Amino acid sequence: MTQTTDTNLIIGILALQGAFVEHEMALQKLPIQKKIDVVLVRTPGELARCQALVIPGGESTTIALLARLSGLLEPLREFVRVKPVWGTCAGAILLAKAVVGAKKGGQELLGGMSITIARNGWGSQLESFEADLDVTGLRDSERPFTGIFIRAPVVLTLEPSLEDPPIHVVSRLSPSLLPESLTSSNSTPEPKSFVALRQGHHFLTTFHPELTRDNRFHEYFVRECVLPSISPPRP
Amino acid sequence: MSTPSITPSVNTPIPQSAGGAAVPLAAPARLTQREAGNSLGTFGVKSGLAQMLKGGVIMDVVNAEQARIAEEAGACAVMALERVPADIRAEGGVARMSDPHMIKQIVDAVTIPVMAKVRIGHFVEAQILQAIGVDYIDESEVLTPADEEHHINKHNFKVPFVCGARNLGEALRRISEGAAMIRTKGEAGTGNVVEAVRHERAVMAEIRRASSMNEEELYAFAKEIQAPFHLLKETARLKRLPVVNFAAGGIATPADAALMMHLGCDGVFVGSGIFHSGDPAKRARAIVQAVTHYNNPKILAEVSENLGAAMVGLTIDNKLKGGEYAKRGW
SS3 per-residue string spanning chain A: CCCCHHHCEEEEEECCCCCHHHHHHHHCCCCCCCCEEEEEECCHHHHHCCCEEEECCCCHHHHHHHHHHCCCHHHHHHHHHHCCEEEECHHHHHHEEEEECCCCCCCCCCCCEEEEEECCCCCCHHHCEEEEEEECCCCCCCCCEEEEECCCCEEEEECCCCCCCCEEEEEECCHHHCCHHHHCCCCCCCCCCEEEEEECCEEEECCCHHHCCCCHHHHHHHHHHHHHHCCCCCC
Facing B7 at nearest CB: one of A21, A57, A131:
A131
Among this protein's residues, is B46 annotated catalytic? Answer: no
The yes-or-no verdict on residue B30 having pLDDT over 70 is: no
Render pLDDT for B97-146 as a digit per residue (tens, 0 to 9).
999 999 999 999 999 999 999 999 999 999 999 999 999 999 999 999 99
Residues facing residue A10 across a β-bridge: A37
Is A66's CB within 8 Å of B292's CB?
yes
Q: What is the model's pLDDT at position B22? A: 36
Q: B296-314 burial, b if ≥16 CB within 10 A, otherwise e?
A: beebbeebbeebeeebebb
Residues above pLDDT 90, as percent of chain B: 81
Quote the CA–CA distance of B269 and B287 in Å, as a whole number: 10
Q: Which of B46, B104, B117, B321 is catalytic?
A: B117
Q: What is the model's pLDDT at position B12? A: 38
Contact B55, B292 (CB under 8 A): yes
Is A128's CB within 8 Å of B48's CB?
yes
Contacts of A69 in chain B (CB under 8 A): 74, 285, 289
The yes-or-no verdict on residue A138 having pLDDT over 50 is: yes
Q: What is the model's pLDDT at position A7? A: 80
Interface A-B, measured as beta-carbon pairs within 8 A, has a size of 168
The complex scores an ipTM of 0.93
Q: How confident is the model at residue A186 (pLDDT cuts 50, 70, 90)?
A: low
Report the residue of A70, A107, A126, A195 to disrupt the B interface, i.e. the one with the largest count of B CBs within 10 Å. Answer: A126
A65 close to B (CB below 8 A):
yes
Q: What is the model's pLDDT at position A137? A: 82
* Secondary structure letter of residue B177 according to DSSP: T
Provide the phi-psi class of A84: left if phi over 0, else alpha when psi is between -120 and 50, else beta: beta
The yes-or-no verdict on residue B302 having pLDDT over 80 is: yes
Least confident of A51-55, B67-71, B85-89, B176-180: B85-89
By C-alpha distance, the chain A residue nearest B27 is: A126
Render pLDDT for A18-62 as a digit per residue (tens, 0 to 9).
999 999 999 998 988 889 999 999 999 999 999 999 999 999 999
Measure CA B20 to chain center. 21
Facing B45 at nearest CB: one of A19, A130, A177:
A130
Q: What is the model's pLDDT at position A6? A: 57
Q: How confident is the model at residue A188 (pLDDT cuts 50, 70, 90)?
A: confident
Is B111's CB within 8 Å of A208's CB?
no
Q: What is the model's pLDDT at position A121? A: 93
Quote the CA–CA distance of B78 and B140 in Å, as a whole number: 15
A70 close to B (CB below 8 A):
yes
Give the residue, A84 or A139, on which the prediction is more confident.
A84
A191 cis-preceded (ω within 30 degrees of 0) = yes
Chain B nearest-CA distance from A23, in A, is 12
pTM of the model: 0.91
* Secondary structure letter of residue B161 according to DSSP: E
Q: What is the model's pLDDT at position B10? A: 40
Q: What is the model's pLDDT at position A190? A: 85
Q: What is the model's pLDDT at position B259? A: 98
Q: What is the model's pLDDT at position A184? A: 59
Quote the CA–CA distance of A34 and A27 in Å, as a whole number: 11
Q: What is the model's pLDDT at position B77? A: 98
Is B54's CB within 8 Å of A126's CB?
no
Is A62's CB within 8 Å of B40's CB?
no
Contact B78, B70 (CB under 8 A): yes
Report the residue of A62, A108, A109, A182 to disrupt the B interface, i.e. the one with the largest count of B CBs within 10 Å. Answer: A62
The yes-or-no verdict on residue B292 having pLDDT over 80 is: yes
Sequence-separated (6 or more) residues with CB below 8 Å from residue A34 = A3, A7, A8, A9, A227
Render pLDDT for A92-113 as a digit per residue (tens, 0 to 9).
999 999 999 999 999 999 999 9
The yes-or-no verdict on residue A5 having pLDDT over 60 is: no
Residues above pLDDT 90, as percent of chain A: 80
Report the residue of A55, A103, A124, A135 to disrupt the B interface, i.e. the one with the largest count of B CBs within 10 Å. Answer: A124
Q: What is the model's pLDDT at position B29? A: 39
Q: What ranges in B179-265 are assigned the alpha helix state H?
A: 194-211, 215-225, 229-238, 254-262
Quote the CA–CA distance of A92 and A199 in Å, as a whole number: 12
Question: What mean pLDDT is reported for chain B?
Answer: 90
Quote the CA–CA distance of B176 and B200 in Å, as a whole number: 19
Name residues 180-209 of chain A within 8 A of B (Cβ).
180, 208
Q: What is the model's pLDDT at position B158? A: 96
